[in-house]
């Protein structure tokens, strides 16, 4: 019997490594049509707009969708009227493997970084440190309902937000955004993985902490 695409991804033992799960889930999300992507992004935006976790947030980090990631752009367009300042991650020029966050508006000029991902130009005075954000909407490859997140493997978000283990009172809300088909029954977790406090898909909002 064929497993429905909407069912949680449950890897076979030979596919249970993080790299194998990542490969399978990237294929899953890239298999979605442009129409499905557009519909999912619009549905997710409605869940985000209704989220109590974001109601008081005024400084929110987001991302530019790539590689089949669910697109937060419809949410940004709707939420700007609430007076929210959005930020994009920028590779830190002095701390390798870390990120800072630069204001993102409709007129922001973007340039590809060393990975070919568009990002704003690094601007010291305008940058906001990770601890000064109210919320972070993170891209992900896979997630489980224990707050586990599987990213692309670079570890940038985990290193940047490692401080939340030492000083949780300074931690912004970490909310993963994904297609429901990226849900995994259980992810293999590493000690350095920073757990998510919530996940939002096109189908629903998961409040985990």
- Going by the annotation, the residues of the binding site are 18-22, 64, 69, 149-157
CB atoms within 10 A of CB 191: 4
Which pair of structure tokens corresponds to residue 194? 């920073």
Contact residues for 89 (Cβ-Cβ < 8 A; gap 6+) = 61, 63, 99, 100, 101, 119, 156, 160
How far apart are the C-alpha atoms of 206 and 112, rounded to whole Å? 33
Which pair of structure tokens corresponds to residue 71? 């697109």
Mapping DSSP onto H, E and C, the string for 150-178 reads ECCCCCHHHHHCHHHHCCHHHCCEEEEEC
The binding site for ATP consists of 18-22, 149-157
Which pair of structure tokens corresponds to residue 138? 């993170």
The helix (run of H) or strand (run of E) holding residue 77 is: helix 73-79
The helix (run of H) or strand (run of E) holding residue 126 is: none
Three-state DSSP state, 29 = helix
The binding site for substrate consists of 64, 69
Which pair of structure tokens corresponds to residue 165? 């283990």
Phi, psi (rounded to 5 degrees) for 73: -55, -45
């Amino acid at each position: 019997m064929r497993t429905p695409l909407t069912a949680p991804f449950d890897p076979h033992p030979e596919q249970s490594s993080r790299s194998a799960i990542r490969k399978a889930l990237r294929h899953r999300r890239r298999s979605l049509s442009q129409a499905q992507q557009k519909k999912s992004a619009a549905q997710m935006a409605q869940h985000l707009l209704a989220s109590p976790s974001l109601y008081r947030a005024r400084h929110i980090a987001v991302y530019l969708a790539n590689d089949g990631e669910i697109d937060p752009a419809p949410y940004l367009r709707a939420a700007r009227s609430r007076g929210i300042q959005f930020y994009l991650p920028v590779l830190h020029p002095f701390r390798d493997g870390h990120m800072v966050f630069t204001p993102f508006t409709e007129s922001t000029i973007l340039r590809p970084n060393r990975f070919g991902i568009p990002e704003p130009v690094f601007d010291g005075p305008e940058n906001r440190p990770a601890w000064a954000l109210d919320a972070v909407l993170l891209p992900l490859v896979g997630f489980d309902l224990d707050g586990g997140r599987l990213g692309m493997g670079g570890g940038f978000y985990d290193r940047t937000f490692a401080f939340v283990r030492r000083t949780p009172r300074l931690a912004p809300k970490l909310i993963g955004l994904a297609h429901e088909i990226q849900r995994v029954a259980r992810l293999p977790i590493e000690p350095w993985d920073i757990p998510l406090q919530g996940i939002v898909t096109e189908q629903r909002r998961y409040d985990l902490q």
